[in-house]
Structure 1
Amino acid sequence: MSPTGIAILGAGIFAKEAHLPAIAALGATQSTLKAVYSRSIESASYFAKEAQEVLKQSQAPDVYHDSDETSNLDVLLARSDIQAVLVVLPITLQPSIILKALTAGKHVLSEKPVAPDVAGGLELIKEYEETFKPKGLVWRVAENWEVEPGYHVAGKIIASGKIGKVTSFNVRVVNHVPKDSKWYKTPWRTVPDYQGGFLLDGGVHTIAALRVILPSPITTLTAFSSLNMDHLPPHDTIHAVVKTEDGTHGIVELTWGAPVPSRSEEANNGISITGSDGWIWIKMTRSKDANGTEQNVVRITTKQVVRNEKGEDVGESETILEERVRGVEEEIRSFFAAVNGNDDGFGAPFAALKDVAWIQAGLTSNGQPVDLVKLISQ
């Protein structure tokens, strides 16, 4: 099977630091980067040069931008040698670009979130399901935490019954975003024109991980939201009490409003799931591989009740597993497989909409219960 001809739409930080290395890791047999688009010729040209080096291509991908009608996005999308596009653009731009690419007959992998809000997401999904899916076009949402191997390992441990019946869970995500952060200095994040700011942009990751880890989906949420750091409008913090379909309840804390780095570094960030026979602790951290090279990993620590032959509790055991972080690579691999007729179900737009619904509910609850199932069935 010949490599899929692709274009990357967007030349920002995440496209450079995450998508390019992931495409390189998958290898030239999976895809060939034919073109890159950005609003400015400068950013597109710089990205194209870097892409040639990272991907070890004989020539740089062609450059497209908004300052020349002969080299704009429409011209790129008209190319027959490009079968799929990876959309890595600001949140509010993505829906229109997704539809433009689908209309041009391209398969689409778009960065999370699926849309800025639930209503827009439902409309976009409806258009895809009715107009483009029947034509055989694939649209998937690039939510790397949904396919992160470490989270799947944790979910399988819980499903196997090692910690017994899940009784409660606790999630803590505390981030410090200074004004000199490369993420904050991205113009569309500095003055966001979408709900939640960093909560929407980054918070959907954690909710996607919970979809994979928990044995029952979250269906009800009661929360309060706030802005604690003035440079992070409109909100930077959500505290929520949530309940799953099977009645299990938990606490979820999401904030990008830590005042100093130590508040984040010492927060003990991660996901803990407690069961009747033990508990499991899941966190992203740094670790060394067999060659001594540091890498990002998901560390899964499982602690179980130990019982003697009489069934008496005599202590606890501990097992630690680590999986290298490679979600971006896996989401792109999954997308290429779907384009070639082997859909594993990951990256489904409606699943990603559940993550947006969670954040939207957290921002608007103001202490009142929100039915998440009802919210996405409007």
Structure 2
Amino acid sequence: MSFQSSAGSQCTAIAILGAGIFAKEAHLPAVAELGSKVILRAVYSRSYKSASELADSAKATLKLEAPPKIYSDDSTGSGSTLDALLARADIDAVIIALPITTQPEIIIKCLQAGKHVLSEKPVAADVKSGLSLIASYEKEFKSKGLVWRVAENYEAEPGYRRAAEAIRQGKIGAVRFFRLTAVGYVDKDSKWYKTPWRTVPDYQGGFLLDGGVHSVAILRTLLLDPLKQVTSFASLSRPHLPPQDTITALISCTPVSERSSESKDKKTHGIFELSFAAPAPSRSEVGNTIILTGDKGWLEIATGVKVGNKSVVRITLHIVTHEQEKEGDELEEAEEIIEEEQKSIQAEIENFLNAIKGTDDGLGDPRAALLDVAVIQAALTSEGVPVDLDELLREG
């Protein structure tokens, strides 16, 4: 169902389930930017305290006359439970930002109540549970017109999508190899570490799963060829980040069928380095790179570049041309720079709202998001033995 805003345009009424840091610092500002396209009617958390804090933040950020209604597990009275929230006919959809292992049950509960769902990444804690969750959605709810999307904001980031467009336009030719390095510093005083469910994770990989799926999503967005095989080693460098905090992987791709037989013999492959074990912030501030090299050039992506008061994704294209097609030919290299303001959270929510209204661009597809989990799972378990991603996604 949809509602009319005061401006007369179609407006989707939502609730936010989960009152953590990300809901306050990312979801609320994004909802504010979307203006009359969306209205926040309710918030839910396991505790009344955190739900009320989110409601107060929503009132300030969204400039509401009154805070949205509060629901929690420890509220008194049946009218303030999650079931009561989901029974409301004036709420179309929910955004779920709950602990990784809690989300699947809540996703199904919301779909059963007839609500569209945008759930935070990862899609599930592991491939097996993700396959089960997706199967339930596709069998029971998809045919009813209910939309479920996974909020993978890196996939929706306009800068990454511009880079993908440049690659598909052939500006650097066919991608031959790549390197993605992402090193983070997570101290015990970090606001992210202090989140209880992250401090003692009950899911594989700890921060490597929670944050690592973002990096996989970047590769999935950029590369024309689908990711096929992972060979990796995983380790723990800092004791407070169990079970592992570092992976180094070689990833290869399967050439798409549309390519020529000559091109199909040249597989795309690359290095995937991911760690949250930097010994100091200075290490996380250098060396983080996304570089894709093609047979006609290469591109580099820098994220978080400050331009005035904005943060942008900067794509630097190095386009190579040959004067003559023979050995010893002269090379000419042209540089092209593309910049896009970072607004991935806003983009993913807007895409979700559009999907509800019937315009679906495919972003946030749960099966695509499951590949991100599969790559991390393969990297955690490989121990130097190649893992076939297609087999993992079939068998869990």
**TM-score normalised by L of structure 2:** 0.92
d(CA) in 2 for partners of 1:229, 1:200: 16
Per the alignment, residue 353 of structure 1 pairs with 370
CA distance 1:153–1:2, shift in 2 (3 Å): closer
2:74 maps to which of 67, 70, 73 = 67
**1:55 matched to 2:72:** no
d(CA) in 2 for partners of 1:132, 1:330: 24
d(CA) in 1 for partners of 2:281, 2:63: 37
Equivalent positions of 1:60-139 (< 5 A) are 60-68=67-75, 69-70=77-78, 71-139=80-148
Per the alignment, residue 46 of structure 1 pairs with 53
Task: Output the amino acid matched with 2:20.
Answer: G
d(CA) in 2 for partners of 1:220, 1:326: 31
Task: Output the amino acid matched with 2:306.
Answer: S
Per the alignment, residue 259 of structure 1 pairs with 279
Per the alignment, residue 380 of structure 2 pairs with 363
Q: Deviations over 1:62-99 (max 9, x none)?
A: 00011124211111111111110000111111001101
d(CA) in 1 for partners of 2:279, 2:376: 22
**Which of 63-72 and 80-89 deviates more?**
63-72
- TM-superposed CA distance for 1:124, in Å, is 0.3
2:12 maps to which of 1, 4, 28 = 4
- TM-superposed CA distance for 1:306, in Å, is 4.1
Equivalent positions of 1:140-155 (< 5 A) are 140-155=149-164
d(CA) in 2 for partners of 1:375, 1:314: 43
Per the alignment, residue 315 of structure 2 pairs with 300
The 3-state SS of whatever aligns with 1:377 is: helix
CA contact (8 A) 2:303 2:314 kept: yes
d(CA) in 2 for partners of 1:184, 1:309: 56
Equivalent positions of 1:320-339 (< 5 A) are 320-339=337-356
Equivalent positions of 1:218-257 (< 5 A) are 218-246=227-255, 247-257=267-277
- TM-superposed CA distance for 1:313, in Å, is 2.3
d(CA) in 1 for partners of 2:353, 2:168: 29
Task: Output the amino acid matched with 2:376.
Answer: I
- TM-superposed CA distance for 1:310, in Å, is 7.7
Equivalent positions of 1:27-46 (< 5 A) are 27=35, 29-46=36-53
Task: Output the amino acid matched with 1:298.
Answer: V
d(CA) in 1 for partners of 2:222, 2:289: 12
Task: Output the amino acid matched with 2:151.
Answer: A
Q: Deviations over 1:205-247 (max 9, x none)?
A: 0111111101111101100001111000011111001110022
Task: Output the amino acid matched with 1:233.
Answer: P
d(CA) in 2 for partners of 1:303, 1:344: 29
Q: Deviations over 1:261-290 (max 9, x none)?
A: 121112x212100111211001212222xx
**Which of 52-61 and 96-105 deviates more?**
52-61
CA contact (8 A) 2:324 2:330 kept: no
The 3-state SS of whatever aligns with 2:178 is: strand
CA contact (8 A) 1:305 1:313 kept: no
The 3-state SS of whatever aligns with 2:278 is: coil
d(CA) in 1 for partners of 2:248, 2:211: 15
Per the alignment, residue 260 of structure 2 pairs with none
- TM-superposed CA distance for 1:159, in Å, is 1.5
**1:275 matched to 2:290:** no
- TM-superposed CA distance for 1:200, in Å, is 0.5
d(CA) in 1 for partners of 2:357, 2:325: 55
Task: Output the amino acid matched with 2:280.
Answer: V
CA contact (8 A) 1:5 1:82 kept: yes
Q: Deviations over 1:193-213 (max 9, x none)?
A: 000000100000011111110
CA contact (8 A) 1:221 1:372 kept: yes
CA contact (8 A) 2:97 2:120 kept: yes
Per the alignment, residue 374 of structure 1 pairs with 391
The 3-state SS of whatever aligns with 2:394 is: coil
**Which of 326-335 and 155-164 deviates more?**
155-164
How many residues get paired? 372
Cα RMSD for the two superposed structures: 1.3
Task: Output the amino acid matched with 1:94.
Answer: Q
CA contact (8 A) 1:208 1:355 kept: yes
**1:202 matched to 2:211:** yes
d(CA) in 2 for partners of 1:47, 1:31: 17
Identity of aligned residues (%): 56
d(CA) in 2 for partners of 1:163, 1:349: 30
d(CA) in 2 for partners of 1:276, 1:125: 38
